[in-house]
Each structure stands twice: as C-alpha cells, then as structure tokens.
Structure 1
Amino acid sequence: MTQRRFGNYSQRARLGLIVPPTNTVNEAEWMRLLPEGVTLHVTRMPLHADSSSEDGRAALYADIRSHVLSLAQAAPDVIAYGCTAGSMVNPINTLTDYMQQCCGVPAVATAPALVQAVQALGLRRVALATPYHDALNAHEQHFLEDNGIAVLGMRGLGIGAGGAAEYIRIAQVPLQQVYNHVLAADVAGADAILISCTDFASLPLLSGLEQALGKPVVSSNQATLWAALRRAGISDAIPDAGRLLQIA
C-alpha cells in the first residue's frame, strides 16, 4: 500500500486540535471515534472565554496564530479549535478564516460547528444543556440566535461563576449527572438539545439520550469532530455516537 507522505498511521487524514489547558475530555472522546487511518495531534492554549471585547479578541487571535502555526508543522489536513466559549466569534466564519489565513490549513471551530450541525440536521430550535454560569450561557444564546438558531431554553450548572479556576471541575461532573441535566434541559418545541462545552463529557450518553428524548442531541465534541472530518473529506458513518455522525 502506498503510504501518505506523513506516515504509516495517517493514511486517510491527520487532524490537529487546540484545546484549553485544563481540558481532558475533548481528545479522549475524539480518540474513541476516529475512523481507521485518521490520527489526532493536540496542543493546549490559554483559555479565552471573552471573545466579544476588543481586548479579548486581540488576545485570542494572538494565541490562535502562534498555536496554528505550531500545529501546521505536523502537516494536518484540518486544524480544529476545540473550545465552545472561545470560538463564539461573529461573523461566524471570522475565526476559522483567520486560522486558515495564518497557516494555510483548513480550519474548524466548535461554536461554528454547533451551528453548522443544527443546520445539517435541518433544525432551527434548540435547548441548551451546559456546565456554565448564567453570563456565559447568555453569551452562547446570543451567538446562536445571531446565526439563526432559536434557543428556547437553557440549563447550566453554574461552573465558572466564581472565576476561571472553577473550570477544571467541568470534566469531573459524573456521567449520570450529565444525563439527568440534559433530560431536564429539554423544553417543549425544541427540535434538538445542544450539550455545550468540549470539557463536558457526554459521548457515551448521546445515543441513549436521543432515544429517551426522541430528538437529536448534539454535543460540542461531536459537532467539532463531524466538522473536522467532513472538512478533511471523510464522511464515514460512526455508530453509537448520535444522529449527527450518521449523516454525510
């Protein structure tokens, strides 16, 4: 077999991923889902939860530039920014366009991927289940609604209200608590539930939640991986990971 130019294990694609420093869930969930011949290569970047202010966006862009240039040296087919809060930048393609301009590699990011996932499923009205505090939930609601997604309900866990040092607790939320939290977030009229935050574990729950709720359940990690694989030209259906990863 002729090998790809960058090694024996990446015959189909090589994905680069940028995550916040405390994130321990994103790469763990992706590693469970990657199709054969697709490899993952990860770096960590400071957390940027405020991309709405001029100073916040400037800091985000400075860090993004240095980290995509570093990852680009590994010759990925796609680079993903795996942070929901940090990628809520409007207009929706601004951040990913900047990433690609910096390094010449196609790019995806979590918040835009959530919007694209809802659109790909043919839906427009969602409920949000997050680990976040109220201010960050409101920021996400505004981002989604600015991009044509109606948010009919939100339910958070309040993590981060006492400062960024709390965010390490997100990955520690037990799966049973996540499951109950998502069920409680459902509201009448919602076409889907979005589970927000790439450090909020939910992968083993997605299929069961969809069955229990009778509607799609889309997580940050699922949506970002879906977007990255599709951008790399890979449309494999991935079983037991929610409806989104069954569509091309």
Structure 2
Amino acid sequence: MPCRHLSVYSQRAKLGLIVPPTNTVNEAEWMRMVPDGVTFHTHRMKLHADTASEAGRKALMDDLEEVFAMLKQARVDAVAYACTAGSMINPVDSLPDDLTARTGVKAVTTSASIIAALKKLGVTRLSVATPYADRLNEHETHFLEENGFAVEKLIGLGIGASGPQDYVRIAETPIEQVAAHARAAFVPGSEALLITCTDFPTLPLVEQLEAVLGVPVVTSNQATFWSILRTAGIDDRLAGLGQLLRNH
C-alpha cells in the first residue's frame, strides 16, 4: 500500500497525470471516472516523436524526470504518463519501471496499461481503432504483436499525416464519427476492441459498444485510469465504464 499524504479532497489517493500539450480529452474523461476521495493533478509535457533511438529515449526520460519531480512535490501516490504513442516502448514495462526507479514515485504509462488490461481480460485477438495516420498505426501494430497479440484489423482516421500540428484535431472528432470508426474496425471473432489515443473521445461509447459487439472494449484513458487506481491501492469496481473497471 503506498504511503498516504491525505488531504480534505484527497482522502483516499492523489494521482499525478502527464498529458501532451494539445490534449483536452484525457482530463475530461478522468473527471467522469474518478471515485470519491481520489483526486488527480495534471502537468503538460511536449511530445516526443523519437522514442526508439538512444538520444530520443534520453530526451524523453529527461523531460519525464523533470515533470515527475514537480508532481512529486504534491505528494502524489502514483503518476501516469498518459500518451499512447509516446509510451509504446518495448519491453513494455521498461519505461514505467525506469521512471519508478529514477524518481521514487510509482509510475504507469498508457501503453503498458493497455497491455496489462488486455492480459487481465484474457484476450489475444484484437480489432483496433485509432485516430492516427499510417506511420503510427504501423508502429502500434508492431508494438501489440511484439507483446503477444494478434491484430485482426487496425484502422486509423489519418490524423497527423501532415505532421504533429494536426494532432489537436483528434479531440475535435465528433463522437458519432468515433462510434462509426470503432464499429468499422471490428472484425467478428476478435476477442476485444481496442481504441487508442488519450485525446480521442471514447468514454460514452464503451458500454454501448460492448453491448453491441459482445466483447470487452478497452480505451487508452480507461486502461490508464484502471492501472493507476490499482497502482495507488484503490480497488473500487466502477460501473458504467466497461468490463475492465467493472470486473477487474
């Protein structure tokens, strides 16, 4: 159980959240999920396109350590680096483990949370919907396959094809378009539908899609929130947010 530094509004846990600079969805969805007595506290950090090279990984870690140091002053119980593409690094636990060791704060990342959630649900065959363009979609497919999952189908909306300046459009995708895109991505026989990107509005769709498709639906924000709650010692089962948070 983490050491507690409780306060009036954070009677059970304080969580730290790191999001990319254009992200406006993550906090909005976490606000709708957070149980009583738990608070979260946010910091923005620039995107890192290169996480594969030694120099790119070092730049990412330097920025994360700086932000962790600031959030640590709020006595948070755990910190989430909530960026799907920016945390798709294998081995999947290497980034959160390195951050925990370097900062002394329990760390979770979105991509490691997604893998943990899918394994907890006991699924391996996936349909995947993203807002991304081809380059990131290919990277995500390889990331999932390297972690033991079969990607039956993965489709994106093509946002970001002309560069990161377009990423702000992800949050502006109408929910009806997100729903249609998710349904188009699903292949019968898949064991789960995965919808990725922490800036992609998906929370109102999770239960609806599970009812229609008959399989668990995992999203970036839902999985990251589930992971940080459990890491912080909060074991609540939360209704209306999909099988992951209801049953695990």
Normalising by the smaller structure, the TM-score range is: over 0.9
In the alignment, is residue 131 of structure 1 matched against residue 131 of structure 2? Answer: yes
Asked if the contact 1:115/1:149 (under 8 Å) is kept, the reply is no
> Percent identity over the alignment?
55
* SS across alignment from 1:18: strand
* SS across alignment from 2:153: strand
Which string of whole-angstrom CA distances, capped at 9 and with x for unpartnered residues, describes residues 57-81 of structure 1?
1221111111111111111111000
**Separation (CA, whole Å) in 2 of partners of 1:6 and 1:218:** 31
Asked if the contact 1:16/1:80 (under 8 Å) is kept, the reply is yes
**Separation (CA, whole Å) in 1 of partners of 2:247 and 2:106:** 21
* TM-score with structure 2 setting the length: 0.96
* SS across alignment from 1:230: helix
- Residues 1-248 of structure 1 mapped to structure 2, 5 A cutoff: 5-248=5-248
**Separation (CA, whole Å) in 2 of partners of 1:192 and 1:49:** 28
In structure 2, the gaps of 5 or more residues are none
In structure 1, the gaps of 5 or more residues are none
**Separation (CA, whole Å) in 1 of partners of 2:189 and 2:144:** 17
* SS across alignment from 1:126: strand
**Separation (CA, whole Å) in 1 of partners of 2:188 and 2:50:** 31
- Report the more deviating stretch, 47-56 or 154-163: 47-56
* TM-score with structure 1 setting the length: 0.96
* SS across alignment from 2:193: strand
- Report the more deviating stretch, 90-99 or 47-56: 47-56
* SS across alignment from 2:15: strand
Deviation of the 1:97 alpha carbon: 1.1
Deviation of the 1:201 alpha carbon: 0.5
**Separation (CA, whole Å) in 2 of partners of 1:129 and 1:157:** 8
Asked if the contact 2:5/2:75 (under 8 Å) is kept, the reply is no
